[in-house]
Amino acid sequence: EAAEKGGYDTYMLKEIYEQPQALTNTLLGRLRDEKGEVDLDIDLDPRSFKRISIVACGTAYYAGLVGEYLIEQLARIPVEVDVASEYRYRNPLVGENTLAIAVSQSGETIDTLEAMREAKKGGAQTLGVINAKGSSMTRELDSTLYIHAGPEIGVASTKAYTSMVSAFLMLALWLGRTRGTLSDKEGAELLHAARELPRLVEEALKPERVARIKEVAEKYAHASDYLFLGRGVNSPTAFEGALKLKEISYIHAEAYAAGEMKHGPIALIDEKLPVAVIATESRLLEKTISNVQEVRARAGKVILFLSDGDEENAQHGDDVVYLPRAHEMVSPVVNAVAMQLLAYFTASALGKDVDKPRNLAKSVTVE
């Protein structure tokens, strides 16, 4: 087993470090010319969709939320995202102009599989964003976009998540370019940003950056609750950060879209509550910072994740973690790595078995 972990203490850490390679494999050979053209080998007509339904469970659901944002922004098609256990029982509205997308690492999660059967029954076209080759979903769905993250053993998903998000970026490019909603210039910009991803994640995993996150994680490892905030395309990053922390450290964590904080969670803030805020470069950064000020005014402890070079906003954090600067649309991939490391080092500091967290299964194949 030690050999399989490739010198790392755990599968989870190994898989975190495998991300630059996993992302290379997800993106490699699919990014075409400089105008944002991608080659996904999807056997469906992108002009035939009027709406898209994304269904998934757990971490894959959060990848779907990033997908919603990317597809709506770049391809201007209405997208809804559902947890599969809800979708399958709510008599969903689908028709032949609906594209139903299943997101799944294993391709075997029963709720997701049944949700897709439901969508098919209603006449939807179906597509899987899937890791496991030859899995049940890949056999039943009309088409599959493999994420090529490689085998994931750690129960808490890491590299599959960032590869799923990258796959959605390519899907959004494909839809945007073929449907004419994405200009040559924007296409070129995003293609460049996508190409940069493996390198940016490698940068995020440099020893001094990892050591900084470890230091912060250890400082707050004895907190009984945690709050995660993010906005826009990074609000799912906050959700994923909270999920990761719950799964492996058993610390109660909640996540909110930062602007929603004043409608409830603000009541929880006191000097004992660490609040992890994703505040990397974005259109809405100023608004996020004003949410941070609200937290601090109530004595909450702010762990601020900023883009490299943002010295101006450092004053707003009790602890600051700098992350490689990325195009906003691809930043969820880079930022997710920081969330994984925060959860990982918190759980390790508490002596938890990160590869086999209690009560969780890698793949849930019974209802």
The residue whose Cβ lies closest to ligand G6P is: 58
Span of 17-25, 85-93, 201-209, 356-364 interacting with ligand G6P by CB under 6 A: 356-364
Cα four-point dihedral sign 144, 148, 149, 152: positive
**Residue in 51, 287, 298, 362 binding ligand G6P, rule: CB under 6 A:** 362
Q: Is 105 in the site for ligand G6P (CB under 6 A)?
A: yes
Q: Is 297 in the site for ligand G6P (CB under 6 A)?
A: no
Q: Is 104 in the site for ligand G6P (CB under 6 A)?
A: yes
Q: Which of 89, 75, 132, 126 is nearest to 109 (CA)?
A: 132
What sections of the chain are H helices per DSSP? Answer: 11-17, 19-27, 58-75, 84-87, 110-121, 136-140, 159-178, 184-204, 207-219, 235-249, 285-297, 331-349
Q: Is 113 in the site for ligand G6P (CB under 6 A)?
A: no
Span of 105-113, 210-218, 232-240, 310-318 interacting with ligand G6P by CB under 6 A: 105-113
Q: Is 282 in the site for ligand G6P (CB under 6 A)?
A: no
What is the arrangement of strands in the sheet containing 143-146, beginning at the earlier edge strand? 79-83, 51-56, 98-104, 125-130, 143-146
Q: Is 10 in the site for ligand G6P (CB under 6 A)?
A: no
Residues in the chain: 367
Whose tokens are 């890491």? That residue is: 158
Which structure tokens are listed for 319? 């602890």
Q: Is 16 in the site for ligand G6P (CB under 6 A)?
A: no
Write down the catalytic residue from 35, 219, 272, 362.
362
Q: Is 26 in the site for ligand G6P (CB under 6 A)?
A: no
What sections of 122-228 are H helices per DSSP? Answer: 136-140, 159-178, 184-204, 207-219
Instruction: Give the C-alpha separation, 161 to 167, whole Å.
Output: 10
CB neighbours of 205 closer than 8 A, spacing ≥ 6? 16, 17, 19, 20, 337
**Residue in 59, 98, 136, 346 binding ligand G6P, rule: CB under 6 A:** 59
Q: Which of 140, 198, 134, 143 is nearest to 169 (CA)?
A: 198
Q: Is 331 in the site for ligand G6P (CB under 6 A)?
A: no
Q: Is 200 in the site for ligand G6P (CB under 6 A)?
A: no
Nearer to ligand G6P, 61 or 174 (CB): 61
Do 264 and 90 contact (CB within 8 A), yes or no? no
Q: Is 158 in the site for ligand G6P (CB under 6 A)?
A: no
**Residue in 12, 66, 124, 155 binding ligand G6P, rule: CB under 6 A:** 155
Q: Give the binding-site size for ligand G6P (rule: CB under 6 A).
A: 17
Nearer to ligand G6P, 59 or 335 (CB): 59
In the residue annotation, 362 being an active-site residue is answered as yes
What's 31's DSSP letter? B
> What is the smallest separation between the CB atom of 364 and ligand G6P, expressed in angstroms?
5
Q: Is 60 in the site for ligand G6P (CB under 6 A)?
A: yes
Nearer to ligand G6P, 104 or 144 (CB): 104
Instruction: Give the C-alpha separation, 23 to 170, whole Å.
Output: 12
Which region holds residue 300: left if phi is over 0, alpha if psi is between -120 and 50, else beta? beta
> What is the smallest separation between the CB atom of 249 and ligand G6P, expressed in angstroms?
15
Span of 102-110, 118-126, 214-222, 327-335 interacting with ligand G6P by CB under 6 A: 102-110
Q: Is 157 in the site for ligand G6P (CB under 6 A)?
A: yes
Return the bridge partners of 257, or none: 230
Instruction: Report the Cα 217 to chain-centroid distance in Å.
Output: 20
Catalytically active residues are: 362
List residues near ligand G6P by CB under 6 A: 57-60, 104-106, 109, 112, 155-157, 360-364
